[in-house]
């Protein structure tokens, strides 16, 4: 189907806008560069001729929009614009990578090939998706621009996500928040990261997004007046010192405000740090940028008292993604804490445009030194080229290396190392060397002996204690935070498991031979359930590790275990469709052996324990013909939707109105301890509301108590009513439902 005259006019207008953007950015040095971009546009237009996006607009507008983002919002050059214009040509049309190479260049062909592979990753099934993602990330070894263009592609798709059906929105937003947002952060593309987060929230939680946006707009006049009051004396000092600067008040993003509301269980009105003041100045050749930033900081703290616990110096030690700035929180007028960010123009460019600005300034200084971003890219390349036992695990580990706040710790000789916030001494050990991590038994933290699992803090000096007899344990995976530590531990455990499998197989085979029985599939199917194993490798591994004893094998072989096997496997199917309290008239059905359709059962997800009134999303477990119901903001659901997007249930899942079922909800409490407070709690819960408690765990330290209570409630209204009454108890400081139990 050909485009209409109106379509052609729109395409022409967007092309003109791209040309204007390229001119303003001065990315074309000669007519050859312009010819390169023009040829890419006309080839893409011809290749996508007559094709429309789901929104109905001509498809060619999408690659033009991606190219615009590449130029205007990231600041890449000619080759990136060409690759952006061509990024869907090989994926969606008859053109091949070889055609691109002949028409343009091997470099452009390689970039388009990388983008084509990346597009394929997010259109495939889950495990294949993760495996392919690992392969295409190898493009980091060649050209990081491929990843950046893909981020631009994802940003435009998110801007136009409204045309997609709900299940696709869940899949795409989950992929975005799970992987693309951390990737944008890691490459220093803060503006893109923030917009992606906001767009994810807009489509997943539209009501909350609109409410926070409205409140931000409603409080704008009052906030602006306060900002003017706050910056007035700062402006006076900066002008006095003849500093060329821009100063502005930056509002937090809708998503970050919502995250804080969720994390602290507070209202919009209770968030005090809803904005920050940013000072961007033109640095002089002398003294150093670092010295000039501290001079401005000193001038501000002459006006406002700083909070020493909220000083963040990312100039002395930049973040791993290259971010540099000085952040301080000071006490402003009316007793309000205000964050002030100080950075040079160079620092600001890198903060907003990330990788592109990073390389621009590096080339300008002709520096060959390896900086933080170089070190990170090197680390990722090593991980990509190293062994990995499982594609999904690799994806999780890669994500782990992308997105986390950082601490700085020191070796005994004073070398500084950066680790994620929440890291342990074990993470530090693996950061030093894999062998040190594998044999670590303890640590000296600031010269005091601590367990190897102890958490470490910024400024700690750490020495690792090792022993040759010590080896990694599976429990270590629960405490480490870095991808390097996780990968090293898993690699060791895999080797250990393989040894156990081989040893266990020999032991089982030998024991069976003593009973004149050959080891085969029929025998394995008989004995695996009896030993609580789902597959033969698990059985062999547990035998080899000594977890399973074969002392009762003789007796087991003589029994007819078929009924026991059947009962055992039923244990692996929790819940019941008739008891779940969930309705979905349109849910897909499986087919029973007699040819009749079996309705899938509904199971409440244990990770988030949704209750009636919560917004929920269904995830199809095809192996057991059941639908697992998660809260729509559940972290586990986001991970599943990012990796297994095709299993998200398309239809809306609704709570049944007829079934009186109780659901587990966990509540966290904090307060001031006093005699009788537990009696008051139990009276409200059991006597006033007639609610059953599953668990209660309270601990008191120096007059302060904290703990959790597990309650069986009918719906979200009952839970909120209980929480409101608990808040009225004398001594209760805070009470909130745990978001992910």
Hey, do 5-163 and 213-364 end up sharing a CATH topology, with the first three levels equal?
no
What pLDDT is recorded for position 375? 62
pLDDT confidence of residue 156: 95
The mean pLDDT value of the chain amounts to: 81
The answer to whether 358 touches 350, Cβ cutoff 8 Å, is: yes
Name, in order, each residue with C-beta under 8 angstroms of 40's C-beta and a sequence gap of 6 or more: 81, 82, 85, 86, 104
585: pLDDT strictly greater than 50? no
Torsion angle of C-alpha atoms 20, 24, 30, 32, degrees rounded to 10: -40
Write the DSSP assignment of 420-431 as a string of letters: ETT-BHHHHHHH
Measure CA 734 to chain center.
28
Give the pLDDT mean for 544-549: 82
Whether residue 307 is predicted with pLDDT greater than 60 in this model: the reply is yes
Highest mean pLDDT among 138-152, 238-252, 313-327, 678-692: 238-252
Tell which residue, 197, 170, 168, 171, has the closest CA to residue 182: 197
pLDDT tens digits along 90-147: 888 888 989 999 999 988 998 888 787 666 555 544 444 455 555 555 555 456 788 8
What tens digit of pLDDT does each residue of 1-49 get?
Answer: 678 889 899 999 999 999 999 999 888 889 999 999 999 999 999 999 9
Contact 22, 37 (CB under 8 A): yes
Window from 50-64, 88-102, 437-451, 698-712 with minimum mean pLDDT: 698-712
Is residue 693 within 8 Å of 673, Cβ to Cβ? no
Three-state DSSP state, 674: coil
The lowest-confidence range among 161-165, 422-426, 533-537 is 533-537
Tens-place pLDDT, residues 141-199 = 456 788 889 899 999 999 999 888 888 888 889 888 887 888 888 777 888 999 999 99
Fold category of 663-737 in CATH: Alpha-Beta Plaits (3.30.70)
Name residue, tokens 């001729």. Answer: 49
CA 447 to CA 466: how far, in whole Å? 16
CATH architecture assigned to 5-163:
Orthogonal Bundle (1.10)
| C-alpha dihedral sign at 104, 110, 115, 116 | positive
Query: pLDDT at residue 420 above 60?
Result: yes
* pLDDT tens digits for range 258-305: 988 888 778 888 887 788 999 999 999 989 999 999 999 999 999 999
CB-based burial label for 604 (10 Å; 0-12, 13-18, 19+): buried
CA 43 to mean position of chain CA atoms: 37
- Give the whole-angstrom CA distance, residue 421 versus residue 593: 53
- The pLDDT value recorded for residue 19 is 94
pLDDT at 732: 87
The DSSP secondary-structure symbol of 546 reads T
Quote the CA–CA distance of 655 and 664 in Å, as a whole number.
15
> Cβ(60)–Cβ(48) under 8 Å?
yes
Q: What pLDDT was estimated at residue 565?
A: 35
Task: Please report which confidence band the pLDDT of residue 397 belongs to, taking 50, 70 and 90 as the band edges.
Answer: low
Q: Is the pLDDT of residue 476 over 70?
A: yes
Q: What is the band of 419 on the pLDDT scale with cuts at 50, 70, 90?
A: confident
Two tokens, residue 135: 């392969």
How far is residue 11's CA from residue 18's CA, in Å, rounded to a whole number? Answer: 11
Distance separating alpha carbons of residues 9 and 368, to the nearest angstrom: 48
CA distance 209 to 7: 33
Query: Which are the catalytic amino acids?
Result: 91-92
Give the model's confidence band at 595: pLDDT under 50 very low, under 70 low, under 90 confident, else very high. Answer: very low
- Give per-residue pLDDT as tens, 651-676: 777 777 655 678 888 888 888 888 88
The yes or no reply on domain 373-471 and CATH 3.10.20.30 is yes
Q: What is the pLDDT of residue 148?
A: 86
- Residue ranges covered by each domain of the chain: 5-163, 213-364, 373-471, 491-562, 582-655, 663-737
Residue 366 clears pLDDT 50, i.e. is over it? no
Cβ burial of 184 (10 Å; 0-12, 13-18, 19+) is buried
- pLDDT: is 700 or 578 the higher one? 700
The SS3 of residue 180 is: helix
The hierarchical CATH code for the domain 213-364 is 3.30.460.10
Provide the H-helix boundaries in 265-371. 289-303, 345-353, 355-364
- Of 141-155, 335-349, 532-546, 674-688, the range with the highest mean pLDDT is 335-349
């Amino acid at each position: 189907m050909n485009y209409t005259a109106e379509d052609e006019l729109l395409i022409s207008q967007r092309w003109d806008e791209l040309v204007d953007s390229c001119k303003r950015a001065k990315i074309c040095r000669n007519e050859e560069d312009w010819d390169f971009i023009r040829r890419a546009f006309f080839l893409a237009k011809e290749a996508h001729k007559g094709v429309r996006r789901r929104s109905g607009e001509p498809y060619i507008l999408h690659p033009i929009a991606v190219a615009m983002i590449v130029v205007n919002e990231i600041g890449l050059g000619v080759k990136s614009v060409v690759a952006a214009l061509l990024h869907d040509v090989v994926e969606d049309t008859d053109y091949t990578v070889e055609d691109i190479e002949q028409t343009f260049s091997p470099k452009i062909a390689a970039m388009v090939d990388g983008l084509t592979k990346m597009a394929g990753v997010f259109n495939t099934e889950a495990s294949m998706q993760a495996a392919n993602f690992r392969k295409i990330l190898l493009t980091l070894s060649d050209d990081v621009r491929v990843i950046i263009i893909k981020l631009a592609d994802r940003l435009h798709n998110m801007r136009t996500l409204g045309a997609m059906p709900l299940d696709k929105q869940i899949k795409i937003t989950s992929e975005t928040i799970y992987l693309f947002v951390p990737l944008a952060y890691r490459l220093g593309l803060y503006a893109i990261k923030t917009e992606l987060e906001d767009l994810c929230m807009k489509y997943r939680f539209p009501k909350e997004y609109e409410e926070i946006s409205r409140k931000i707009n409603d409080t704008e006049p009052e906030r602006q007046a306060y900002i003017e009051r706050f910056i007035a004396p700062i402006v006076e000092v900066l002008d006095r010192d003849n500093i060329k600067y821009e100063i502005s008040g930056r509002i937090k993003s809708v998503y970050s405000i919502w995250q804080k509301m969720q994390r602290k269980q507070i209202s919009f009105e209770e968030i005090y740090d809803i904005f920050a003041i940013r000072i961007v100045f033109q640095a002089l050749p002398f003294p150093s940028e670092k010295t000039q930033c501290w001079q401005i900081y000193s001038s501000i703290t002459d006006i406002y008292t700083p909070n020493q616990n909220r000083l963040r110096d990312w100039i002395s030690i930049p973040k791993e993604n290259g971010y540099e700035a000085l952040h301080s929180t000071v006490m402003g007028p009316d007793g309000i804490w205000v964050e002030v960010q100080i950075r040079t123009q160079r620092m600001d460019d890198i903060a907003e445009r990330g990788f592109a600005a990073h390389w621009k300034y590096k080339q300008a200084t002709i520096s060959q030194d390896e900086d933080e971003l170089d070190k990170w890219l090197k680390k990722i390349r090593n991980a990509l080229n190293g062994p990995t036992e499982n594609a999904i695990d690799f994806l999780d580990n890669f994500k782990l290396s992308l997105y986390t706040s950082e601490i700085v710790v020191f070796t005994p000789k004073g070398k500084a190392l950066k680790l994620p916030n929440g890291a342990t001494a074990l993470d530090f050990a693996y950061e030093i060397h894999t062998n040190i991590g594998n044999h670590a038994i303890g640590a000296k933290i600031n010269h005091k002996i601590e367990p190897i699992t102890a958490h470490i803090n910024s400024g700690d000096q750490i020495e690792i204690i090792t022993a040759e007899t010590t080896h990694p344990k599976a429990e270590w995976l629960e405490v480490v935070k870095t991808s390097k530590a996780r990968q090293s531990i898993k690699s060791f455990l895999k080797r250990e498991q393989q040894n156990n499998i081989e040893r266990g197989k020999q032991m089982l085979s030998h024991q069976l031979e003593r009973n004149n029985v050959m080891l085969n599939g029929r025998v394995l199917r008989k004995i695996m359930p009896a030993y609580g194993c789902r597959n033969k490798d698990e059985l062999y591994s547990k035998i080899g590790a000594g977890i399973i004893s074969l002392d009762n094998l003789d007796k087991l072989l003589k029994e007819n275990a078929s009924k026991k096997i059947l009962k055992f496997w039923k244990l692996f199917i929790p819940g019941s469709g008739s008891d779940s309290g969930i309705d979905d008239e349109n849910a897909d059905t499986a087919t029973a052996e007699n040819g009749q359709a079996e309705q899938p059962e509904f199971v409440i997800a244990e990770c988030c324990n949704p209750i009636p009134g919560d917004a929920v999303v269904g995830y199809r477990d095809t192996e057991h013909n059941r639908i697992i119901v998660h809260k729509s903001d559940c972290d586990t659901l986001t991970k599943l939707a990012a990796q297994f997007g095709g299993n998200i249930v398309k239809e809306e899942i609704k709570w049944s109105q007829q079934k009186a079922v109780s659901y587990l909800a966990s509540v966290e409490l904090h307060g001031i301890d006093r005699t009788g407070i537990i009696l008051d709690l139990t009276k409200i819960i059991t006597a006033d509301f007639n609610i059953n408690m599953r668990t209660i765990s309270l601990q008191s330290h120096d007059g302060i108590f904290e703990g959790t209570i597990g309650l069986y409630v009918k719906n979200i209204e009952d839970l909120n009513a209980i929480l409101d009454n608990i808040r009225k108890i004398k001594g209760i400081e805070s009470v909130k439902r745990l978001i992910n139990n």
